[in-house]
Amino acid sequence: MIGLHNSLKELRKVKGLTQADLASTAGVSRKTINTIENKVFVPSTVLALTLAKVLDISVHDIFELEE
């Protein structure tokens, strides 16, 4: 089964942002960021693109398919 790997936590820390900072900028709750980072919740395309925009990187840098 194909899973979704994400590097959101590492990339967020590189930018010096807390979960709360990223959440408020992206317009979601801190819980949502936390569950994405812990691979509990898979975000929609819109939210994935929003996170990439906030972090000023490509969405492919954050998310990638894993076999």
Partner 1 sequence: MALQDTDISKVRTILLGITGLSCLVYAILAIAQNDPQPIWWFIPMTAGLLASVGIAIAFLLGDSSARQMAHDEMYDELNHRAQRHAYWIAVLMYPIFAVIIMATGLSWETTFAAMGTLTGASYLLLLTFYEWRMS
Residues of this chain that interact with partner 1 (CB under 8 A) are: 23-24, 27-32, 35, 40-41, 43-44, 47
- For partner 1, the closer of residues 32 and 55 by Cβ is 32
- For partner 1, the closer of residues 9 and 30 by Cβ is 30
Residue of 49, 58, 63 lying closest to 9 (CA atoms): 63
> How far apart are CB 39 and partner 1 at their closest, in Å?
13
- For partner 1, the closer of residues 29 and 58 by Cβ is 29
